[in-house]
Chains A and B, each alone.
Chain A
Amino acid sequence: MTAYLAKRLAVAAATLVLASIVVFAVLEIVPGDPARLMLGMNASAQQVDLLRDQMGLNAPVIIHYLHWAGGLLTLDFGRSYTYSVPVIDLVAERAIVSLPLALMALLLATAIALPVGLYSASRRGQAGDTISMGAAQLGVAIPNFWFALMLIYLFAVWLKLVPAGGFPGWGAGLWPGLKALLLPAIALALPQAAILARVARSALVEVLSEEYIRTARAKGMPRRAVLWRHALRNAMIPVVTIMGLQFSFLLAGTIIIENVFYLPGLGRLVFQAITQRDLVVVESVVMLLVASVIVVNLLVDLSYAIVDPRLRGRS
């Protein structure tokens, strides 16, 4: 287990370093001089050069990279070109919108997917299974931003139950904030719930054909208890794996969904930063997202050991 843990950690760290090099390199070859961009077209060559010096852009690429990467490690991401504030402040201000949104979506997706998967698997081949898996098939095919538009039309334009977009800020209280995030979270969660329900069903179908399930039933354990206590627990590995992968979809999905609902989150921040060529913001947010994907996948791998005690002994 320790050897496995060490190898897994080393791979994650190496991936993170490689990813930072890729992000840095891609943004290094982007056309346009950030210093020129900040000062405008009327600035003299001297002024631009002075600013380039201050921003560390005149240093050799390696030094520039090390400076940037070192900054990342200490959470010093530099200053935004367009907002002229430290990037970390921007990120913190936006993360309090995006993280609750992604979390709500993940909870919603799981809360829908697991019962549907269980229901389908326990009625395998019957009408209920066919209908719920048909619905899941449909859910996978629906683009989340179109679903978002339909939700806006139904609940905001027609029924006027929730705001069509925007975010009042947490200062206005917990409920108005949650209410503003409700439709976006549903829009994000639906396709993920559909995928997760399909995975949960097929994992459960496999587990339910195992002999220990028959044994549990034979010794008189009620059907429901067998499903929840034995089957679900053993089907968790593929389910948790997919949930880990979905985290990265949810993060990327926030870019589109936050644009649909005009939410001031990380996704909208990075999209605006890209169009405004605010590269410091782009590279910092992308690195943060990539790092969180790597960390989540690492946690997923480690959680196998918790879900499945057999893996604990293995080196």
Chain B
Amino acid sequence: MSGAFSNRSFVTGFLITLAVAAMALASYAWTPYDVTRLVISDKTQAPSLAHWFGTDHFGRDILSMIMIGARNSIAVALVAVGIGMGIGVPLGLWAAARGGFVDEVLMRLNDLVFAFPALLSAIMITAIFGPGAVNAIIAIGIFNIPVFARVARAGGLAIWPREFILAARAAGKGSAQITLEHILPNIATLLLVQGTIQFALGILAEAGLSYLGLGAQPPMPSWGRMLFEAQTRMVIAPWMAIFPGMAIVVTVLGLNLLGDGLADILDPKSRRRA
């Protein structure tokens, strides 16, 4: 990782991600204004020195809401990645270790999940089992499972035929032990890169669900919901739509750059400018 900080993509992505995470953490201790207090006399104020990003139709400070909304976006996407990794990786490793019938069945199940447009199914799940952050996490998490299963399986299959695995076999280690001690550490970097990408996709998906009213419920601020509330007020208060959207773009961009940078660093073959 010594060359990591000479990779522009990685450094930019890392700094952006760090800043967004810091903003979310800071919001627990301090926000410029209290977003639970509605100050109607301050409603739909344009950006100014007092309110950098302006205020919404209840007079709440948009910057403060974006800071608190970051928590929700990060938490939902992070746990959804955790679900996908926690279930998908063991399944993929299992398929790679066993091969044959197990592999075939797992991969066909994967195909099945991929046949459902993820967002459509997430909308269905949250709408049927009730809107809210928890159901949004589950809905997004389910569609992370096959993604990680595929990555873990492909990574595992590439490593199983290697000589050091043969050596471990000869030393009397079983499949499970080899998987844990040799396969998993060797695909960890692949999983990290995929994790960053899914994290970014999770943020986008969460924003989409809360835009439709199916994510975190008010009064908890969320970026998607802020956009929904901005839509009918675009003519009088365009800043209500501009800034939450930019928060999403910057966060997702940061994570994607981080993922791209990581992939470049960890796999010299994919390096763009050698």
Instruction: List residues of chain B with CB within 8 A of the CB of A143.
Output: 204, 207-208, 245, 248-249, 252
Q: Given contacts A141-B200, A146-B241, A153-B241, are A252 and B120 in contact (CB under 8 A)?
A: yes
Partner-contacting stretch, out of A52-60, A84-92, A255-263 = A255-263
Are B231 and A149 interface neighbours, CB within 8 A?
A: yes
Are A141 and B115 interface neighbours, CB within 8 A?
A: no
CA distance A282 to B117 in the complex (A): 14
Instruction: List residues of chain A with CB within 8 A of the CB of B256.
Output: 137, 140-141
- Cβ-based interface call for A142 (8 A): yes
What is the CB-to-nearest-CB distance from B245 to chain A, in angstroms, rounded to a whole number?
4
- Give a binary string over A126-158; 1 marks a CB under 8 Å from any B CB, 0 the rest: 000000000001101111011001101100010
Query: Which chain A residues in 203-227 approach chain B with CB under 8 Å?
Result: none
What is the CB-to-nearest-CB distance from B251 to chain A, in angstroms, rounded to a whole number?
8
Across the interface, B227 reaches (CB within 8 A) one of A15, A141, A146, A255, namely A146
Q: Given contacts A141-B256, A252-B118, are A149 and B108 in contact (CB under 8 A)?
A: no
Instruction: List residues of chain A with CB within 8 A of the CB of B241.
Output: 146, 149-150, 153
Are A290 and B116 interface neighbours, CB within 8 A?
A: yes
What is the CB-to-nearest-CB distance from B78 to chain A, in angstroms, rounded to a whole number?
18
Residue in A18, A124, A274, A293 whose Cβ sees the most chain B Cβ within 10 Å: A274
CA distance A149 to B242 in the complex (A): 9
- Cβ-based interface call for B162 (8 A): no
Across the interface, B120 reaches (CB within 8 A) one of A26, A30, A251, namely A251
Query: Which chain A residues in 237-264 approach chain B with CB under 8 Å?
Result: 248-249, 251-253, 255-256, 259-260
- Give a binary string over B211-254; 1 marks a CB under 8 Å from any A CB, 0 the rest: 11000000000000001001100110010011001001110110
- Cβ-based interface call for B49 (8 A): no
CA distance A221 to B102 in the complex (A): 51
Chain A: CB-nearest residue to B248: A143
- Cβ-based interface call for B34 (8 A): no
Q: Given contacts A145-B227, A157-B234, are A150 and B124 in contact (CB under 8 A)?
A: no
Are A282 and B272 interface neighbours, CB within 8 A?
A: no
Q: Interface residues of B toward A: which range?
A: 35 or more
Q: Given contacts A14-B108, A149-B245, are A252 and B117 in contact (CB under 8 A)?
A: yes
- Cβ-based interface call for A280 (8 A): no
CA distance A138 to B250 in the complex (A): 9
- Cβ-based interface call for A111 (8 A): no
Chain A: CB-nearest residue to B245: A146
What is the CB-to-nearest-CB distance from A236 to chain B, in angstroms, rounded to a whole number?
21
Are B227 and A149 interface neighbours, CB within 8 A?
A: yes
Are B124 and A149 interface neighbours, CB within 8 A?
A: no
CA distance A259 to B252 in the complex (A): 23
Q: Which residues of A contact B (CB under 8 A)?
A: 11, 14-16, 18-19, 22, 26-27, 30, 124-125, 137-138, 140-143, 145-146, 149-150, 152-153, 157, 248-249, 251-253, 255-256, 259-260, 270-271, 274-275, 282, 286, 289-290, 293-294, 297
Known: A149-B234, A150-B241, A274-B124. 19 other contacts (CB 8 A): A19-B116, A22-B112, A124-B272, A141-B200, A141-B248, A145-B207, A146-B207, A146-B227, A149-B230, A157-B234, A252-B118, A256-B208, A275-B127, A286-B116, A286-B120, A289-B117, A290-B117, A293-B116, A293-B117
